[in-house]
Structure 1
């Protein structure tokens, strides 16, 4: 272990995470003024996977079912998420984004990407690729 390098990394990650939370709050609010960042993360996950069981979403995010249930209820009340019967288990449901949810999330993600591109416009492709590779490696170990 390299204590000084690890301390520096920990400080920089803390700053990155604080900034990321702020950006997530902003992005969530572009989807709907009442949307919390955690609920926006659920929408992004559904956008990535298409549909999912609530229990799978809770496991993916490491949250309890009651917390997930509150977020899903909010998303449903805003017309952003729909429930559908699970074809493999008649007792279970799957969640998917509504057409409105898909439209809003795509617009929010596009705007978020544009802001990132604007901030990194002076970075080389090699630097961005290297950073993405290292962050992916970190994510896989966390």
Structure 2
């Protein structure tokens, strides 16, 4: 067996992190994620306006989180969205003013508040999310269902890795 100086015999040394960044797969990944994120930001603004003409695009994700997970503390929502308490407080107040959410005292801690969708908020978010899924289904109609499932699985895996 030939020793190439890395103590690993014939095996080539693993590429350094910097070398790996230049691999075509990572260049393509960076490019495609940039396009996806740009489109997602634009779509988020459109969806926010569909929920309510005065809704800030950044608040749409908050409404989706409440739709998926039910009522939550504002601090938990701030951590999930990645904003500070002051920003979350401002967004919750704006959503209250639009009639999309309500705040109620947390029975487990009288000092804390739980944020929940109102009936109107849930109805509007549900309508917009269903319309978005219909657009995805239309645009991906020529994809095999296993490809859609695989894409969802890989995106979930990517999202899990990004949470670490």
Q: Give the Cα separation in 2 of the matches to 1:43 and 1:87.
A: 22
1:89-128 counterparts in 2 under 5 A? 89-128=109-148
2:108 to 77, 88, 91: 88
Q: For 2:66, what is the secondary structure of its paired residue? A: helix
1:1-142 counterparts in 2 under 5 A? 1=20, 3-142=23-162
Q: Deviation of residue 37 (structure 1)?
A: 1.8
Q: Give the Cα separation in 2 of the matches to 1:116 and 1:122.
A: 11
Instruction: Report which structure shows greater RCO (CA 8 Å, sep ≥6).
Output: 1
Q: Deviation of residue 18 (structure 1)?
A: 0.5
In structure 1, stretches of 5+ residues that fail to align are none
Count of aligned residue pairs for this structure pair: 142
Q: Deviation of residue 70 (structure 1)?
A: 1.2
Q: Deviation of residue 38 (structure 1)?
A: 1.2
Q: For 1:11, what is the secondary structure of its paired residue? A: helix
Normalised by the length of structure 2, the TM-score is 0.84
- Bigger radius of gyration, 1 or 2? 2
Q: Give the Cα separation in 2 of the matches to 1:10 and 1:77.
A: 39
Q: Deviation of residue 86 (structure 1)?
A: 0.4
Deviations 1:101-130 (A, max 9, x none): 011001011111111111101000111011
Q: Give the Cα separation in 1 of the matches to 2:124 and 2:52.
A: 8
In structure 2, stretches of 5+ residues that fail to align are 1-19
Q: Give the Cα separation in 2 of the matches to 1:54 and 1:87.
A: 14
